[in-house]
Structure formats: structure tokens, C-alpha cells
Chain A
Amino acid sequence: MIQALLSVGLVAASALGVATFPRSVLAFLLFQGSLVFVYRARIPELLRWSLLVVALLVLMPVIGYFNGYYLEVATQVGIFVVLALGLNIVVGLAGLLDLGYVAFFAVGAYSWAIFGSPHANVIFGGGFPLAGGWFYPFLVVGLCTAALTGVLLGLPVLRLHGDYLAIVTLGFGEVIRVLANNLDKPINITNGPKGITPISRPPTPFGLPYGEYFYFLVLLLVVVVVIVNRRLENSHIGRAWEAIREDELAARSMGVPLVRMKLMAFACGASFAGIMGVLFSAKQVFINPESFTFLESIGVLAMVILGGMGSIPGAILGATVVTVLNLQVLKGFSLWLNELKNAGVTVLGYSLADLPTQFEPAKYERMVFGIILVLMMIFRPQGIFPARRRQRELTPHGS
């Protein structure tokens, strides 16, 4: 009863807090924290899910109205949630350490970027960009190209074990990045470091502003992807993946076709990244190779590890925490530090204004990822929300 009251209270209070103090990073963090609390609290399922639905579908857009940046953060979180869920299949379920996951994201992004912008005219001579409405079918195109890339990468590489697989996928990710950076000659496919812009956006339903449109679209995709993940997990495919992760030799000997299942894991994981890539380019209107580096691959890995390998709520939590850390906490810390500097604050006799100008906390994402990875591995390798072995109610059908 107390938890129920607390849940409702926290959500309402924090939402109100954000509305009152739109610039306060703390208020927004509290709002997000309240959602986590609602997820874990011991309250009736109906209450839990009603609160979450209201918070995500109503409160969040309203908050977005007060501070557009928060909506942006929420959308980015959503994008990374899907990426984390995709990598979760590869690393968490099947146990294949892919360090070049961002390559699939890049493939999806560039597929819409090229055809949804005037850039394709450089290659094909005319007729582009495709109208914004093509965005929707291209979500499928992105899915397929990324899945295909996953299979192509997987085929030669899947009989490698653990460490070697990791390094090869890393190398592959780097190859994609260098290609993106350099395929502007002899044929200009990617336009190199200059990137591609402007990328068409689809017309929005009900004349929604783009901020809200992408937020809801991302939310929808998150729901779809979670359902897909759940279904995969609770099927012979998911069980086969887990068996492969547990003991490849035994899995093989029990009739699990290793190569086919691993390829399927790669393709499924890649396809999520592909879809989000297409969405990402339409949302950003401009992409360049800078968004698709090793840093991003490790970032998504950190999300999966933090949340818990193989765990859907874990992937969601991990993506949220890491994205918020980078986009809000670090950045907020940077801004706050600047304010303190300008105000001439001193700490222990040392004036903050004397801090070297090159020191910008917002740039220290790698340190954050690094600390997360090392600490998690040493203290809690199973993650914050470890995958729980689901106790399935196994009632025989009709007997």
C-alpha cells in the first residue's frame, strides 16, 4: 500500500518538479528514477503499467513541451534501448562478443541517408531524394541490409572463439568506419567525412512537431522490439542461443545447428540496429562517420553489461543510465562547473576559474564507460537486473 502511494506520489511530484524547474537536471533524473521505482515496486501490475504508460505517453511529452532538450534525451535513450536490446541478443543470449556492433547501425543509417537525400543524385544522376514517405519502407530496407551485413560478417567469422571473435568484430567495425570515411572516391557513395545532408523526413501524422513525432515513433519501436525479444527468448531459438552460450559442444551434440543459430543471432541483433539507423538519419537530418565509431560500439556494450547480459529490463535500464550519464550528467556537470567558474567560486582555497580551459567533463564518456565495465566485471558481472530464469507455467495443452 505504501509502495503504491509512493509510486504515484514520486511520479507526480517529479513530473511537477520538472515542469516547475525546466532547467534542473536533478528534477529530470528524479523523474526517471521514479519510473525505475515504479517498475520494481511491489504494487499491483495494473497500477504499475498504468503509471508507466501515463508517464511515457502523457507526462513525458508534456515535459518535452517545457524543455525540448529532455524530449531529445528521452528519444536518444529510446534509440539506445533498441540498440542495447539488439546487442543483448548477440552478447547476452548467444554469448558472442561483438565489438563492432555500430557497423550495423551505420549501414542502416547510410541506406536512408543516401537515398533520402540529394546525395544519391551524385551516384545515379537524378531522381533523388526520395519523398519523405519512403522513410517507412526504408525502415524495412535498413533492417534487411543490416541483417544481410550481419550474415555476411558472421559466415567467415563464427567458428572463432571468444577473444578472437571479439577482435575480428572490432576490426570489422573499424573497416566500416574507414570505408564510410573514404568511400567518396572513386564513386562517391558516402561523401566521406563531410557526411550526408539534408536527409528527408517523413510527413508527421496530425501535424505533430518532429520532436514529439520521433519520440513516439521510438517508443513504438521499443515496444515492438521488446515483444520480439521476449518471443525469441521464450522459444526454441532463444533456448538454443542460451545453450550455445552455456556449452557450445554440448549444444552441438544435442542437435543445435551452431552456425545457423549464430548467424540468426547476428542477423536479428543487426536488424534492430539497422532499423534504428534509418530512424537516426531521418531524425538528425545529417550524418557523418563520426557517429559510428568504436566508442559507440563500446557504449552499447557497456549498456548491456551494466543492465545485465541476456536481460530485457536490464538492457533498458543500462541504455537509460548510460545515455543519461553521458547526455545529462556529464554535460550538466560541465555546465554547472562553468557556472561555478564564472561565479568565482573557490574550493579549498583554489579558485575554480583557474581550472585549465581544456578540462571539459562532458568529454569524458570513455572514462565513464571504462569505469562501468571494469567495476561491473569485478563486482557484479551479472548486471543490475540479471536475467532471471523464467519459471514458466508449463501446463500441457488440452490434457
Chain B
Amino acid sequence: MSMDFELLVRIFPEVLLDGIILGFMYALIALGYTMVYGVLEFINFAHSEIFIAGAFIGVEILLGLQGRGLLEGFPWPLVLLLALMAGMAASGLLAVTIERVAYRPLRAAPRLIPLISAIGVSFFLQDFIRLFESLWRNAFNLVYPSMDALNHRLELTATIDVSVKSLVVIVSALLMLWALHLIVNRTKVGTAIRAVAEDQAAASLMGIDVNRIISLTFLIGGAMGGAAGVLFGVQYGLINPYSGFIPGLKAFTAAVLGGIGNIPGAMVGGLVLGLLEAFAASYLSLLTGGAFGAEYKDIFAFSVLILILIFRPKGLLGEVVRERA
């Protein structure tokens, strides 16, 4: 038993790091869900594909550069920045288009209708990305080209080292979250978004163009998802059109955990879920003697989702679930 305990302690920093990275990623994706829910009270089921589309744009940029032998030539921060910008732009635009085409016509319908439409969009996009990549590249399971600079490991202490890649992912995520915080709280647009989320009718009476704000919300939420996609690809390497589904569902769990509709809540929820999952994945197997291993980490997240929705639907930072009279 004591040997196990030593093992537990030894892997702790690594698990913590994994948890933080995972957490930030969930937070970025969760923002998309929560912002849209805030203004429309609607779960954008297709957000998981908006997320993975960003990853694909990123990989295309990198593969394109690699193909021209330019990948190692350019400074890696520039390359990453390019990939991130492209991913964010593509995902943001995709989100706005989806809203216009598949959700806006259904805004007045009973709530299940746009939800079903969103599910349809999600499925369509999965195979659309597959189709595109099959025709373009004759492959849809793609690997992010590895960059030497990123694989370099830095020694933080005698026993702990961390890859540049992980640091880059963390820093990028932090910058995104901070940028979002600024936008939402310090700009006119952000205030308008918060107003529409609070009370659509009142906001429109105040002269806010609600449709435009909704589109902007999708744009920003989508861009965050796209950024998360690129970072996901950089961090984990392998992507396919179907790999957005599970992270998307977990990020939604994170959004609900933090309080759906609540932006800081999405960040908190993401981090909490990421950490919980990382610890469950690493320690569950050790603690149960191999009976329940890391494969159960998915069930773990889903169970968290089911439990919160049943026992505390307003989440940690609590968004009042409106009573339907």
C-alpha cells in the first residue's frame, strides 16, 4: 500500500497539469455553449462540431505549411498564431452561418424543434467534414504535425518537467479567456450581449439590434470553440470529424456545472471538470486495483452531468432557472 501511495504522489504534478490543460480546453468550449444559452436559452448542440472544425482548419494550415517546407522555417509563435486565427475565424463564421440557416427560422417554435435541428446540424457537419477531407486529402483521421520547438521539455524543478507545448496551450487559453472577459465586461458589445441575455425584450426596447447581437454571440462563442479546437489538436495530436462529440458533451457538462448562461461559471466549471476528470482517469485505476480504469473517465463526466441536472440544475455559480408559470 505504501508503494502505491508514493506512486500517487509522484504522478500528482503531471495529473495536475493534465487537469489544468483539459480544464482550460473545456472552459473555452463551454463558453460557446453558455453564451448562446444565455441569449437564447437554447443548447447549441452543433457547437461540438464548430469546435472540431477549428481543429481541422488549424491542421490544414499546418499541413499546408509543412507541405511547402515552411513549417520549421517560420518562428513557431507566428505559425501557431496563424493557425489559431484561422481556426477562430472559420469556427466563428461557421457558427454564425448555422444560426442564420438552421436556428433563426425556428426561433418562435416550441423549444424541442430548434434542439432537434441543432442535433441535425451536428450530425451533418460531422460527415461534411469527413466528406471534405476525404475529397481534399483522401484522409480524415489527421495528425497535427509536430514541431520540434514545442516538443522541447523545460525543467521546472529537479523532478518536474513540462513540455513547451503544454505551456503554450495553457498560456493561449488564458489569453483567450482574458480577452473574452474584457470583451464581455468592458466593451459596448459585451454589455449589449449581457443585456440581451438578461432580458431580450427590454434590450430591444433600449435600441439594441437583438438579431445582430445574437449573431455576434455565436461569432464569439464559435471563435472560442475554434481556438479550443486548434489547441486540442496541438495538445493531443490526432483528430477526426467525430472527435468533437465527446469533448463537446463534457464541455456542456462543465457549462452546466458552473451555471449555464453564466460566463465565469463556464470557466470555473471547465476547470473543475477537467481536474476531476484527470484525477479520475489517473487515480481510479490505481485505487480500484485495475478493476475500473481510465476508460471510465467518460462515464465519470456523464455521471457528473446527470447528477448536477437532477440535484443542482443551477450549477455552482447559480443561474436562476426561470420558472415557467
Contact = CB atoms under 8 A, between A and B. Distances in A.
Interface string B191-218: 0000000000000000000000000000
Interface in A325-357: 355-357
Interface stretch (B7-15, B133-141, B152-160, B263-271): B133-141
B309 A164 contact: yes
A359 interface: yes
Interface stretch (A69-77, A79-87, A265-273, A361-369): A361-369
A175 B299 contact: yes
Given A167-B43, A378-B102, A367 B305 contact: no
Given A157-B310, A366-B126, A378-B105, A359 B135 contact: yes
B122 A171 contact: no
A139 B122 CA distance: 35
Interface stretch (A9-17, A176-184, A280-288): A176-184
A288 to B, nearest CB: 15
A218 B134 CA distance: 38
B313 interface: yes
B249 A171 contact: yes
B325 to A, nearest CB: 8
Contacts of B42: 163
Interface in A342-399: 355-359, 363-367, 369-375, 377-378, 381
A355 B135 CA distance: 7
A168 interface: yes
A370 B302 contact: no
A264 B274 CA distance: 37
Interface residues of A, number: 49
Contacts of B299: 174-175, 178-179
A156 B306 CA distance: 9
B231 interface: no
Contact of B117 (A358, A364, A373): A373
B106 A358 contact: no
A374 B105 CA distance: 11
A358 B139 contact: yes
B115 A178 contact: no
Interface in A216-235: none
B245 interface: yes
Contacts, number: 140
A256 B113 CA distance: 25
Contacts of B124: 366-367, 370-371, 374
A294 interface: yes
B127 interface: yes
Contacts of B309: 160, 164, 167-168
B75 interface: no
B123 interface: yes
A148 B113 CA distance: 29
A147 interface: no
Contacts of A181: 295
A12 B134 CA distance: 42
Interface in B102-124: 102, 105-106, 109, 111-117, 119-124
A63 interface: no
Contact of B106 (A95, A178, A378): A378
Interface string B302-318: 11011001100100000
Contact of A182 (B112, B120, B295, B313): B295
B259 to A, nearest CB: 14
Contacts of A175: 299, 302-303, 306
B131 A359 contact: yes
B131 A373 contact: no
B116 A162 contact: no
Contacts of B116: 97, 301, 305, 373, 377
Contacts of A178: 295-296, 298-299, 302
B309 to A, nearest CB: 5
A371 B135 CA distance: 20
Contacts of B280: none
B134 A371 contact: no
Contacts of A161: 324
Given A174-B249, A178-B299, A367-B128, A373 B115 contact: no
Contacts of A370: 119-127
Nearest to B290: A185
A320 B174 CA distance: 50
Contacts of B102: 374, 377-378
Contacts of B78: none
Nearest to B296: A182
Interface in A124-177: 156-157, 160-164, 166-168, 170-172, 174-175
B106 A377 contact: yes
A192 B112 CA distance: 34
B1 interface: no
A256 B77 CA distance: 63
Contact of B305 (A97, A171, A381): A171
Given A157-B310, A355-B135, A359-B134, 10 more contacts: A163-B115, A171-B305, A174-B299, A175-B299, A301-B119, A359-B138, A366-B124, A367-B127, A373-B119, A377-B117
26 contacts: A99-B119, A162-B112, A163-B111, A163-B115, A166-B112, A167-B252, A167-B309, A175-B302, A182-B293, A249-B324, A301-B119, A356-B134, A358-B134, A358-B138, A358-B139, A366-B127, A367-B123, A369-B123, A370-B125, A372-B120, A373-B119, A373-B123, A374-B117, A374-B120, A378-B106, A378-B117
Interface of A: 95, 97, 99, 156-157, 160-164, 166-168, 170-172, 174-175, 178-179, 181-182, 185-186, 249, 294, 298, 301, 305, 355-359, 363-367, 369-375, 377-378, 381
